[in-house]
Amino acid sequence: MEDVPSKSGIRSSYHHGNLTEALTEAAIALARGGGPDAVVLREAARKVGVSPTAAYRHFAGHSDLKEAVKHACQDLLGGSMRAALAAEPELPDPAAEACRRFRAIGLGYFTFARAQPGLYLTAFCRIDRDDPHTALEELDHAEPYALLTGALDDLLAAGLLHPARRPLAEAVVWSAAHGLAMLMIDGPLAQFGPEILDAAIAATMDTILAGLTQPPSEDPPT
C-alpha cells in the first residue's frame, strides 16, 4: 500500500512500482506542451521524482523513450479518428456512408491536430535510432493509416473513388491532410480563427474527394 506512486511525483517507497509507464506519461505531457523537442529524458525523470539514471532501467536511452511517446501519440490520433467515426450514426446508402466515413476520419484527424498540436507533431516526428525500422513498416502498424486505407476501400466500393486513382490514393490524401495540419499548427494558417480553419478543412477534404472521383487525366505521350 505504501508503494503506490503518488501523482505528485513524490513517492514513499524506494521502488516506484511502474516507472516505465510513469516516465512515458511524463514524457507525453512534455510532448503535449512543446512537441517532440520537448521530450527530454532528464525532465521526464524530474517530473516523476526520480533520478535520470533510473530511466535507463526502463528505456535503452533517450531515443527509446521518445519512440514510446511517438507511438502513444499515434494511438491517441487514431483514437480521435475512431471517435469521430463513432460520433454519427451510419447511413443506409453505401455511397453516402463511405463519404461520411471519409469525412469523419478526416475531421477526427484535424480535430486532434488542432487540439493537441504538440502530440500531433510528435506522432510524426523523426527518431534517430541505431536500429532503423523502415518508416513504411511503422506506418503499416499504425492505426491512423489503417483507418485511411479502410475508408479508401469503402470509397472505391461505393464508386466514389476512381479505380485508376486507388493505388496512390493514400499518398494523395495523406499529403493533403498532413500538409493542412502543419499549416494550421506551424504555418501561415495558424493565425486564423476557427471558422476559417473549419472552412479550409472542409474545402480541402471536398476538393480531394471530388478529384478522387474524377478519372485521371491521360499521361502525355512520351
Q: Which residue, 86 or 199, is less far from its own copies as judged by CB?
A: 199
| Binding footprint of DNA, residue count (CB under 7 A) | 23
Q: Segment 28-47, which members bind DNA (CB under 7 A)?
A: 40-43
Our finding on whether 126 is near its own copies (CB under 8 A) is yes
Our finding on whether 125 is near DNA (CB under 7 A) is no
Our finding on whether 176 is near its own copies (CB under 8 A) is yes
Q: Which residue, 2 or 219, is less far from its own copies as judged by CB?
A: 219
Q: Give me the least distance between CB of 154 and its own copies, in Å please.
A: 17
Dihedral over alpha carbons 44, 178, 117, 126 (to 10 degrees): 20
Dihedral over alpha carbons 74, 78, 79, 83 (to 10 degrees): 160
Q: Which one, of 72, 96, 99, 100, lies nearest residue 85 by Cα?
A: 100
Our finding on whether 61 is near DNA (CB under 7 A) is yes
> What b/e string do you get for 154-181 counting C-beta neighbours within 10 Å, with b at 16 or more?
bbbebebbbeebeeebeeebeebbeebb
Task: Choose from its own copies, DNA, none: what does 214 bind? Cβ within 5-8 Å by kind.
Answer: its own copies
Q: Which amino acid, residue 56?
A: Y
Binding site for DNA (CB under 7 A): 3, 13-17, 19, 40-43, 49-54, 56-58, 61-63
